[in-house]
Structure 1
Amino acid sequence: MKMKNLRNKLIGLIQAVNRYPLTMLFLLAIATVNVNMINNETEDYLKYLFTFIVGALLSVIGQQVYERFFTKVSERVMLIVGSVLLATGYYFAIQSASTFNLEIGTKTAVSIFALMIAFIWIPAIKSRVTFNEGFMSAFKAFFLTVLFSSVLAVGLNLILFAIDQLLFSMNYKVNAHIMNILCSLFAPIFFLSYTPPFPGKKDIILSDQEEKVKKAITCPKTLGILISFIIIPLTAVYTIILLAYTILNIRGDFWTNNLLEPMLVSYAITVILVYILASHLEDKFATLFRKVFPKILIPIVLFQTVASILKISEIGNTYGRYYAIMFGIFALVAGIVFSFFPVKKNGLIASVLIVFSTISIIPPVDAFTVAKVSQVNLLKRTLVENDMLQNGKVVPNSDISIGDKKTITRTVSYLDNLNYLDEIDWLPEKIFYYDKFNKTFGFEETYDQTSDRTEGKFAHLDWNRSPVVNIENYDRLIHLYFQDSQTDLKIPIEIDNKPYSLKNDSENLILIDEKQEIFRFDMKKAIDQIFENQLVSDSGKDMLTTEKLMVTQENDKVKMTILATSVDNYGSQYNADIFVFLKIK
C-alpha cells in the first residue's frame, strides 16, 4: 500500500508538470535566477526574480481559465501567450526604477496576492464547486506542501551537516542551493499536484477526477474538530473582549487609538477565514458561528474603517492606512455577503478583493500616489499656516507648536523614506543628513514617543574637533553608507593577494573570504553604543568627537573598527555614513 501511495504521488507530480508546462519553465527560470543570486551577490536580480514569479502565477491562472471555460488547443496557446505578454509587461513596468524599492515591492506583493485569490476563485465561477470549497482545496494543499517541504529541508540539511562534519568540508553555499531547488521547484510542483481537475466548460468530469475533486474539497475530520472546538471558541472569546473594549472606551481617544486599527483588522481577517473554512461543517458550533459572527463583523469593520478615516485628518493618509481603509470596505462587503447571501455566492468576495487589489496598484488612485499627495498637502498646509512657505521656498521658524513640529517631521520623514523628496523642488535632498533639517525648518526633528525606545536620535562627527584619525595597524579603509533596509551591498577587497568581500544584512557587516564568512560586525550594537556615548558626551547634543563615534569589534581572524561621520535612528531603522577600518590578523 505504501509503495502504491508513493507511486501515485510521483505520478501526480509528473501530471502536474504536464498540466502546467509554462509554469514549469517559469519555475526553472526562478531557480536559475536564485542560483545566480547565491553565486554572484553583486548583481541585482530581484526584478528578474519577481517577473518570473508573477509569470508563474499568471501561467497557472491561464491554465485554470482554460480548464474552466475553454476546450480547444488554440485557446490554450492564446492563454499561454497572454501570460507571457503580461509577465513581460510587468517587467517593463518596474524596469524604469533604479532599485526594487518599497513601492514596487508592495505593489508586487498585492499583485501576487490578487493572483492567488484568482487561482482559487476561477474554478468556482458559475460552477457547482463553490469558492469556499476551492479555498479548502488550496488550504489543504498549502499545508501539505509546507509539511513535506519542511521535513525534506530538515533531512537534507542534516545530511549536509553530517557530510561537512564527518567526511569533508563543504562550501557554505551548498545549503542555499539545496533550499533553492526545494522552494523553487519541488514545493510549487508538489502544491500543484494537489490541485484537482475542477469541472470545466461542459461541466463533465470523469469518475476518477470526480473522486479527486471530492477528496480535495472535503474538510478533514481533524481540521473540522480543530475549527469547531478550538478556533471558533477562541474567536468567540476574542470577540467578547473586543466588544467589551469598544463599549468601555467608545468616547475620548478611542477613535484615534493606534491600538484599535490593527485589532479590528486582525479580527476581521480571522472571522473571514474561519467562516470560509467552516462553511460546510454541520456541527452546532460551526452553524452558530455562520449565523452570528458575520453579522457581528459588519459593525466591527465599520468601527475600524471610521477609525482609519479619522486618523487621516490627524496624520494624513499613508499607504498602510489606505490599505486598512480598503480592507475595511472589503470586510464590510464580506460580512454582508456572508450574512444575507447563500454559500454559493461567496465567490463575490473574491471578485471584490481582486478589484480592490487592482485599484490599489494602478496610478493615480494607487495607495502610494494617494498617500504621497496626502502627505505633501498636509506638509504644505502646515507650513503655510505657520508662514513657513513663501514664494516657493521654506522659511525657517522655530516658534511653532510642538504638534506642528511633529507633523512636519513625520511627513518629511515619510516622504524621505519613500524617496519622494527629489520630486519636491522646495525641499532639499537628503534632508536628514547632518543639520539640514534644522537649517531648513528652524528646529530639530520632533517625534512622538510611541515606545520605550527614543525615536529620532542623531549623531554627527565634529570635524573641527577631530580633523585627524589614526589608521596605523589597519590594512584597508572602506567608506560606505549603511542602511538596515538594504541588503545589496558587496564590496570586493584584496589583502595580501587574497580576495575578500564585505557585504551587509539588516543588522551586520559581514566579511567573507573565498570560501565562507569569517567575521560579522554587529552594526545595531555599534550604533546603540554610539548613542550611549552621546548621552555622556560634553560636545553638544549631536556633534561628537571620533572617540565617541568609533566602535571596534574583533575575533581571532579579523579586527574591524567603524568611524561614523553621521548616524540616525528612527524607531527600528538605522542609517549611518561610516568609514570601516579593516585588519586581517
Structure 2
Amino acid sequence: MNMVKSLRNKLLGLIDAVNRYPLTMLFLVAAATVNVNMINNEMESYSKYLFTFVIGALLSAVAQQTFERFFTKVSERFLLMGGAVVLTAGYLFAIRSASTFNMEIGTKTDVAIFALIMAFIWIPSIKSEITFNQSFMSVFKAFFTTVLFTIVISIGLYAVLLAVDQLLFSLDQKAYGHVMNVVYSLFAPIFFLSFTPFYSGKKDAGRVNIQKEKVAKAVDTPKLLGILISYIIIPLTAIYTVILLAYVLLNIRGDFWTNNLLEPMLVSYAITVILVYILASSIENQFAVLFRKVFPKVLIPIVLFQTVASILRIGEMGITHGRYYVILFGIFAIIAGVIFSFFPVRKNGLIAAVLIVFSAISIIPPIDAFTISRESQINLLRSTLMENGMLEKGEIVPNTDISIKDKKTITRTVSYLDSMDYIDDIGWLPDKIFHYGNFKNTFGFDETYDDTGQGADGSQMAILDWDRSPALNIENYDRMVSVYIDDDQKKGTGTVIPVEIDQHNYVLKNVFDEKEIYLVLVDENDRELIRFDAKKAFNRILDNQKELKGENGTLSVDQATVTKENDRARISIVANNIHYYDSKYNAELYVFIQIK
C-alpha cells in the first residue's frame, strides 16, 4: 500500500511540475523534437536549436522562481515568461550567423547555462528565511536522486527494447535513441523540477504553511551525506591541503610561478573547498565546524598565489580563454574565501551573485574571454614578428634566423588562433596555415614546440616528412581516400565518402561519438564492415612524434601509419599532419581500404 501511495505521489509531483513550469515544459518538448530530428537525420546539425531550447528551458525556470519569490499577479508571471522568450530569441539571434557550433559559442553557452543554474539556486534565498546553502542542498539532493532514477529507468527500458528486438521482432536501431531521448529530454528534467519545493514568497499564506514541512525536508542534510562529508571528504581535503601548502612553501621562489600542471590542481582544490563548505554549512559536528572556520582562510592565500602566478604568465604567453577563466575563477575564489571567513552564513548567497556577474562579464563583449584572448594572441604574434623583422607593410617576411623561444611563441599563438577559427579575421595571415607546408613557407621554419612535442598550452603537432618519404606503397589495397577530420564537428556524422570497389558501393563515414572519433566503412546495405578508432590512432602517431625530441623532427611513413583489420576489411591511415589543441584534433589523412 505504501509503495502504491509513494508511486501516486511521484506521479502527482510530475504533473504539478508540468503545471508549475509550463513554458519550461514547452521548451523541453521542443528540445526533444530537435533530438528526434538529429537521430533520424545524422547528416544534419541541429546543435544551435537544441542549445537554444535548453537555454529557454533554464530561463523560464528562473523566471518561475522569480515570480514565486517576488510576485503574485498572473500578469507579472506572463511578463516574466515573455522576458524568458525574448532572451531565448536573443540567444538564437546571437549564434545564428556562425557556420558551426564552435568552441567560442559552446563555451559561452556552457557559461550561460551555469549562470542560470546558479540563479535558479540563489533566487529562493534572496531576503528569505532559507539560506543559499539550504537551497543548494535541495538542488544537490534533487540532482542525484534524478540521476539515480534516470539510470534505473534507462537500463530497464533498454532491456525491454533489447528483449523485444531479440525475441519478438526486429527493431530499428534508432528506436533506442528515441526512447532514451524521451527519458533524458523530458522525464529527467521534469522529475528534477518536481523536487523543487514552494519556497516562501508573496503567495497565499495558507499554502506557505502547508509547504513549510516540504521545504524543511528538501533542504535537510541526509544523515549518510553528513557522515560522508564529515568523516571522509573533510579529512581527505585536509590531507590534500597540507600537501599543497607544503609545495607552495617549498617552491615559492621557484617552480610555483611557472608550473602549468599545478594550475588545474589548484582550481580543482578551490572548487572542492567551496563545494564542501556549502554542503557542510548545516552540519554541526567537530569536523564540520573546524572545516568552516579554518579552510576558507587557507583557501585565500593559496588561490591568491596561483592567480598572481597565472597573471605573470600573461607577459610571456598572452591570454587564452582558458587562462582568462582561470584568473577570473581565482578572483572569485578569493572573494568566496573572504565571504566564508568574515560574513555570516546568511550572506553566502553573495557568492552566487558574484558568480553570475563574473559569468556575464566573461561572455559579453568587449571584455569577454574570447575577445580579450583573441586580441592578446594577435598582439603577441604581431609584436614577436615585428621584433624579428618579419612583418613589413602588412605582409609576413619569412625568417629562419630567429630564436627557438620566438619560434615557439609564433607556433603557439598561430596554433591557438587557428584552433579558434580566428585566422580569417587576420589579413596578413594566410588561410589553412597548417596545410601542406604553408606554415614553413609563411614563416621560414617548421612548427616548433617544446622538446617533448607538446606546446606550453598542451598543443601537439605530428607531420609526415615528404622529402624522406615521397612515395606511398599502395600494394594490396583497393582504394585510397583523402580525409580531413575537424574535431569541431562533435557528435553525429561528418564527412561521408562513397567508394566503389569491384562494382560494389561502399561508404566511408567520419563519425563523432561523444568524445570519440571513428572512421566507419559500411557496405551498400549500410552494414558496418569495420570501425577504425581514429582518436586512438592519432594519439599513437603523436607519441611517435614526441619520441623524436627534435626541434624540426618529422615522421617517416611507418611512424605516421596505423592499421586495423578484421575478416571483412582492412583500413590503414597515413597522417599527413595531425594538430592537437585544447582537447581537439584536426588531421589530414590518407585512408587505404581493402575489402576481403
TM-score normalised per structure 2: 0.90
1:459 lines up with 2:480 in the alignment: no
For structure 1, the residue ranges without an aligned partner over 5 or more in a row are none
1:555 lines up with 2:566 in the alignment: yes
* Alpha carbons 1:490, 1:503 under 8 Å: kept: yes
Counterpart in the other structure of 1:90? 91
Shift of 1:104: 0.2
Counterpart in the other structure of 1:247? 249
Whole-Å separation in 2 of the counterparts to 1:338 and 1:299: 14
Shift of 1:579: 4.5
Q: Which amino acid is the alignment partner of residue 309 of structure 1?
A: I
Query: 76-85 or 200-209, which moves further after superposition?
Result: 200-209
Counterpart in the other structure of 2:371? 369
1:106 lines up with 2:107 in the alignment: yes
Aligned pair in 2 of structure 1 residues 293, 203: CA closer, same or farther (>3 Å)? farther
Counterpart in the other structure of 1:225? 227
Whole-Å separation in 1 of the counterparts to 2:34 and 2:588: 31
Counterpart in the other structure of 1:440? 442
* Alpha carbons 2:68, 2:203 under 8 Å: kept: no
Q: Which amino acid is the alignment partner of residue 502 of structure 1?
A: K
Query: 267-276 or 390-399, which moves further after superposition?
Result: 390-399
Query: 204-213 or 302-311, which moves further after superposition?
Result: 204-213
* Alpha carbons 1:301, 1:331 under 8 Å: kept: yes
Aligned pair in 2 of structure 1 residues 264, 543: CA closer, same or farther (>3 Å)? closer
1:139-538 superposed matches below 5 A: 139-201=140-202, 204=205, 205-449=207-451, 455-459=460-464, 461=466, 465-466=470-471, 474=478, 478-487=481-490, 488-491=493-496, 493=498, 500=507, 502-505=509-512, 506-512=516-522, 517-524=528-535, 526-527=537-538
Q: Which amino acid is the alignment partner of residue 217 of structure 2?
A: K
Aligned pair in 2 of structure 1 residues 526, 248: CA closer, same or farther (>3 Å)? closer
Whole-Å separation in 1 of the counterparts to 2:468 and 2:242: 60
Counterpart in the other structure of 1:34? 35
* Alpha carbons 2:484, 2:587 under 8 Å: kept: yes
Aligned pair in 2 of structure 1 residues 478, 151: CA closer, same or farther (>3 Å)? same
1:70-85 superposed matches below 5 A: 70-85=71-86
Aligned length: 578
Aligned pair in 2 of structure 1 residues 494, 170: CA closer, same or farther (>3 Å)? farther
Post-superposition CA distance 1:288-328 (Å, at most 9, x none):
11111111111111112111101111211110110011111
* Alpha carbons 1:459, 1:531 under 8 Å: kept: no
* Alpha carbons 2:469, 2:556 under 8 Å: kept: no
Aligned pair in 2 of structure 1 residues 528, 108: CA closer, same or farther (>3 Å)? closer
Whole-Å separation in 2 of the counterparts to 1:532 and 1:102: 25
Aligned pair in 2 of structure 1 residues 417, 533: CA closer, same or farther (>3 Å)? closer
Shift of 1:483: 2.9
Q: Which amino acid is the alignment partner of residue 510 of structure 2?
A: K
* Alpha carbons 1:41, 1:490 under 8 Å: kept: no
Aligned pair in 2 of structure 1 residues 121, 451: CA closer, same or farther (>3 Å)? farther
Aligned pair in 2 of structure 1 residues 450, 286: CA closer, same or farther (>3 Å)? farther
Aligned pair in 2 of structure 1 residues 40, 462: CA closer, same or farther (>3 Å)? farther
Q: Which amino acid is the alignment partner of residue 340 of structure 2?
A: F
Counterpart in the other structure of 1:8? 9
Post-superposition CA distance 1:149-185 (Å, at most 9, x none):
1111222223333333344433222222222111101
Shift of 1:381: 1.4
Aligned pair in 2 of structure 1 residues 463, 132: CA closer, same or farther (>3 Å)? same
Shift of 1:102: 0.2
1:18-29 superposed matches below 5 A: 18-29=19-30
Post-superposition CA distance 1:394-414 (Å, at most 9, x none):
222222111111111111111
* Alpha carbons 1:459, 1:568 under 8 Å: kept: no
* Alpha carbons 1:196, 1:212 under 8 Å: kept: yes
1:51 lines up with 2:52 in the alignment: yes
Aligned pair in 2 of structure 1 residues 484, 522: CA closer, same or farther (>3 Å)? same
Whole-Å separation in 2 of the counterparts to 1:529 and 1:12: 51
Whole-Å separation in 2 of the counterparts to 1:332 and 1:541: 44
Whole-Å separation in 2 of the counterparts to 1:550 and 1:251: 45
Query: 490-499 or 274-283, which moves further after superposition?
Result: 490-499
* Alpha carbons 2:28, 2:53 under 8 Å: kept: yes
Shift of 1:272: 0.7
Counterpart in the other structure of 1:68? 69
Partner SS for 2:485 = strand
Whole-Å separation in 1 of the counterparts to 2:222 and 2:477: 67
Whole-Å separation in 2 of the counterparts to 1:265 and 1:438: 37
Q: Which amino acid is the alignment partner of residue 175 of structure 1?
A: Y
TM-score normalised per structure 1: 0.92
Query: 99-108 or 325-334, which moves further after superposition?
Result: 325-334
Shift of 1:555: 2.9
Partner SS for 2:9 = helix
Query: 61-70 or 158-167, which moves further after superposition?
Result: 158-167
* Alpha carbons 2:477, 2:593 under 8 Å: kept: no
Shift of 1:278: 0.9
* Alpha carbons 1:172, 1:516 under 8 Å: kept: no
Whole-Å separation in 1 of the counterparts to 2:499 and 2:452: 45
Aligned pair in 2 of structure 1 residues 177, 460: CA closer, same or farther (>3 Å)? farther
Partner SS for 1:503 = strand
Whole-Å separation in 1 of the counterparts to 2:185 and 2:255: 48
Post-superposition CA distance 1:376-426 (Å, at most 9, x none):
111111112222222222222222111111111111111111011111111
Aligned pair in 2 of structure 1 residues 436, 288: CA closer, same or farther (>3 Å)? same
Whole-Å separation in 1 of the counterparts to 2:425 and 2:481: 31
Aligned pair in 2 of structure 1 residues 522, 119: CA closer, same or farther (>3 Å)? same
For structure 2, the residue ranges without an aligned partner over 5 or more in a row are none
* Alpha carbons 2:121, 2:136 under 8 Å: kept: yes
Post-superposition CA distance 1:445-494 (Å, at most 9, x none):
1112468999422116569944x9869973x7654312344344142648
Query: 551-560 or 308-317, which moves further after superposition?
Result: 551-560
Whole-Å separation in 2 of the counterparts to 1:508 and 1:117: 36
Q: Which amino acid is the alignment partner of residue 388 of structure 2?
A: N
Shift of 1:202: 5.3
Whole-Å separation in 1 of the counterparts to 2:462 and 2:553: 10
Whole-Å separation in 1 of the counterparts to 2:324 and 2:200: 38
Partner SS for 1:447 = coil
Whole-Å separation in 2 of the counterparts to 1:293 and 1:551: 50
* Alpha carbons 1:107, 1:361 under 8 Å: kept: yes
Whole-Å separation in 2 of the counterparts to 1:298 and 1:528: 38
Shift of 1:368: 0.6
Q: Which amino acid is the alignment partner of residue 407 of structure 1?
A: T
Whole-Å separation in 2 of the counterparts to 1:104 and 1:47: 9
* Alpha carbons 1:171, 1:515 under 8 Å: kept: no
* Alpha carbons 2:578, 2:588 under 8 Å: kept: no
